[in-house]
Amino acid sequence: MSYIGKQPLVGNFVKLDAITTSATTTFNLTNGGVAYYPQSANNCLVSLNGILQAPTDSYTISGSTIVFSSALTTSDVIDFIIVLGDVLNIGTPSDNTVSLAKLTATGTKDATTFLRGDNTFATAVSAGAVLQVVTATDSTERSTTSSSYVTASNTLSASITPASSSNKIFVMVTTSGYSSDQTFYTIYRGATNLGGTGTDNAIVETYRGADLRTAVSMSLLDSPSTTSSTTYQVYLKTNATGKLNQNNTKGSITLFEIKG
């Protein structure tokens, strides 16, 4: 058979279950014994006593029922009810089955962009990009005489939750220090010292005989390999007295999540 225009490829034509008539106007519509809901009277073909009925004039559709304009009798015969062209639900596409070219939205689409949930496009993030920044400050002078690493009253601590276990965290610390003899400063991730491999596992060591006041700056790139909340914190230890935030100057710790 030839077609003018594009040949239809998909149809959804349903012949409903037979109906036994009675002295009423309303009858239930079922398909395989299950209630059926046509979209309207206009997409139904209804034959009554061998005659096609006019939709909306001879009958209407209400939910899963057909309502005739006048009551039938037990001698009437509904020959068939066929539903033509129901609106189809295509369902949810499977993963990786919709190409970028099939998406429609305002903006430019290419291999480096993706569609956000608000139907706008964003540039794909390349490795090395900064994904989030977390910072904390402290301006209280902290002091310790401990010869083992301590947190000096929980100073300079910040937590971050990586978006991917392949991402890295760049940690940057700036503060001021004091040492009456020799003091070591380092950064912990949780209970893990991220300092050097030397005997004292320090990132910064201050020593100048006695009474040294100095700027303390530390930075490192860490691979926590997790998507859980992760805490980074400054620790210190000393041979005599060691301090952070000398004379109540403001110290800071900043965490940068770097795309892996």
Whether 193 maps to a domain, the answer reads yes
Ranges of residues in the chain whose predicted pLDDT is under 50: none
Note the pLDDT of residue 88.
55
Beta carbons of 202 and 173 less than 8 angstroms apart: no
pLDDT for position 98: 74
- Report if residue 119 sits inside a domain: no
Domain tally for the chain?
Answer: 2
Q: What's the confidence (pLDDT) of residue 97? A: 75
Q: State the pLDDT at residue 95.
A: 77
The pLDDT value given to residue 35: 94
Whether residue 139 is found in the same domain as residue 49:
no
Q: Quick check: is 97 in a domain?
A: no
Residues 79 and 135 occupy one common structural domain:
no
Are 185 and 77 within one domain? no
Q: What pLDDT, on a 0 to 100 scale, did the predictor assign at position 196?
A: 83
pTM of the model: 0.55
Query: Tokens 């890295």 belong to which residue?
Result: 168
pLDDT of 115: 57
Angle at Cα 199 formed by Cα 195 and Cα 205, nearest 5°?
A: 60
CATH number at residue 236: 2.60.120.1340
pLDDT value for 157: 93
Among 58, 83, 108, give the residue marking a domain's end.
83
Q: How far apart are CA 190 and CA 156, in angstroms?
A: 13
Do 135 and 39 reside in the same domain of the chain? no
Look up the domain containing 32 and give its range. Answer: 14-83
Q: Quote the pLDDT of residue 94.
A: 73
Residue at 163 is within a domain: yes
Residue 20: inside a domain: yes
Looking at the domain assignment, is residue 108 inside a domain?
A: no
